[in-house]
Structure 1
Amino acid sequence: MFLPVIGCVIYLITQVYNKRDAERIQEEIVSVINPTKKIKDLEQRLQFTETYENRVNLADALLDIKEYKKAIPHYLEALEDSSQNDFYVTNKLIEAYFDIEDYNKVILYAEKIRNQFEFKKSRAQFLYGLALEKLDDFEEAESNLRKIDIRYSFYNERLVLAKFLIGRDKTPDAKDILEEIIIESQNMTRPNRRIYQGTIQEVKKLLAELNQ
């Protein structure tokens, strides 16, 4: 009596779930090979059903392919939906405005969410710090950039922080950060070692130059 039930379970696992996984993987491959197709699909979806989720998905896809100026209007329109949590979209706007070098807008939107818990020690705060640096507010910039000096994370950002500190004549602080990154790199997993290989090499090179 259990055989028909077992047969159904096997069918669901081998046919239904695998088919769904295959379709998802196929969509991801297509989006990588032909990102414009993904954009067109998302644009059509938004035209068919104009929802917050569809608009943000389109904006995210545009951001992924560095179409920042096209992504920004969609994020701005999404922000008009007061029923949604605006942190995610504001965070993405900060990224987009930074990439088009509109540092005043980075600061404007960062200051809208800077009191939220998620902002603390986030990439948004890091970009806020860099924008403040661009506008010559060095003390406030340093205060925000230092927040991302967290062990076993933010390797690229901490390298940027070290360079910032060198430019502010705070070389000992910069060396401490660089030395910590090198120590941490010795305990990295293989995937992380591959991802941050270039960063670690640059850290070693910069530290060697400082020690000359």
Structure 2
Amino acid sequence: MLYYLIIALKLFCLYHIYKNRKPYFWFFVIFFIPVFGAIFYIITQVLTTRDVDKIQSEITTIINPTKKIKDLERKVEFSNTYANQLELADAYYGINDFNNAIINYNKTLEDTVQDSYYTRQQLVLCYFNIKDYESVLTQVEYIKNKSEFKGSKQQFCYGLALREKGDLEAAEEQLKAIDRPYSNYNERLELAKFYLGNNRKEEAHALLKEIYEESQHMTKPNRRLFKTTIIEVERLLK
């Protein structure tokens, strides 16, 4: 496998040199120093300064996620625009700081010129994560008539929020809208649990069996991705 990877790397570099009319000596570098030469060529000739800066920024964010927040806070202080405020809200959401994300998403709503649909979507997710189900229902009122809402994660959160508020009939209606074959496995598992919780064992068993049968035809990456869900489905079927 490593041999073929090295060959592919060399061929890519050679093609890039030819296509972009790079200096002729690069051919010798790739031929006589295949691995390190190819890596050096990619770093110096393929990646742009913007690419390098982006990679460096992403590495810094992983190592020190709060640095990105502080940088964005300074950016908002310097220029309190809609875009900067939204970027800060997204950054807080990205590190699961939902309370600060909510504060900043709500600030973007002060700009009434902008389309608020994305912000409302994010607020639904934030409020759901902090178990503020009443606020979930409030935000959904602004977006539930949009075509993008149907089948979305926000609709799923809406259904679960309705369940928590005791409106089981309305909750089922929303959760069933997420029940689509060969997709939404986690959400459909929750629907099966909803059936079980309401003593509707036949419906729950039918849905769990359907998910299990679909899981047998998953690709390996999907099986890894939904491993926990599949295990839970198998447990409930026993």
Between the aligned residues of both structures, percent identity stands at 48
Letter in 2 for 1:7: K
List alignment gaps of at least 5 residues for structure 1.
none
2:199 corresponds to: 169
Partners in 1 of 2:77 and 2:46 — Cα distance? Answer: 30
Letter in 2 for 1:166: L
- Cα deviation, residue 172, structure 1: 1.5
TM-score by length of 1: 0.88
C-alpha RMSD of the superposition? 2.3
- Cα deviation, residue 190, structure 1: 2.2
Match of 2:102 among 57, 72, 79: 72
With over 3 angstroms needed to count, the CA separation of the structure-2 counterparts of 1:205 and 1:12, relative to structure 1, is closer
- Cα deviation, residue 141, structure 1: 0.6
1:6 corresponds to: 21
TM-score by length of 2: 0.79
Letter in 1 for 2:21: I
Partners in 2 of 1:194 and 1:23 — Cα distance? Answer: 32
Q: Deviations over 1:40-91 (max 9, x none)?
A: 1111222222222211111111112221111111111112222222111101
Partners in 1 of 2:127 and 2:120 — Cα distance? Answer: 10
Q: Does 1:120 align with 2:150?
A: yes
Partners in 2 of 1:28 and 1:12 — Cα distance? Answer: 19
Partners in 2 of 1:48 and 1:57 — Cα distance? Answer: 14
Letter in 2 for 1:136: G
Q: Greater CA deviation, 58-67 or 123-132?
A: 58-67
Equivalent residues, number: 205
List alignment gaps of at least 5 residues for structure 2.
1-17, 27-40
Query: Which structure is richer in relative contact order (CA contacts within 8 A, separation 6 or more)?
Result: 1
Match of 1:82 among 112, 123, 144: 112
With over 3 angstroms needed to count, the CA separation of the structure-2 counterparts of 1:151 and 1:26, relative to structure 1, is farther
Partners in 1 of 2:192 and 2:63 — Cα distance? Answer: 36
- Cα deviation, residue 178, structure 1: 1.2
Partners in 2 of 1:12 and 1:181 — Cα distance? Answer: 44
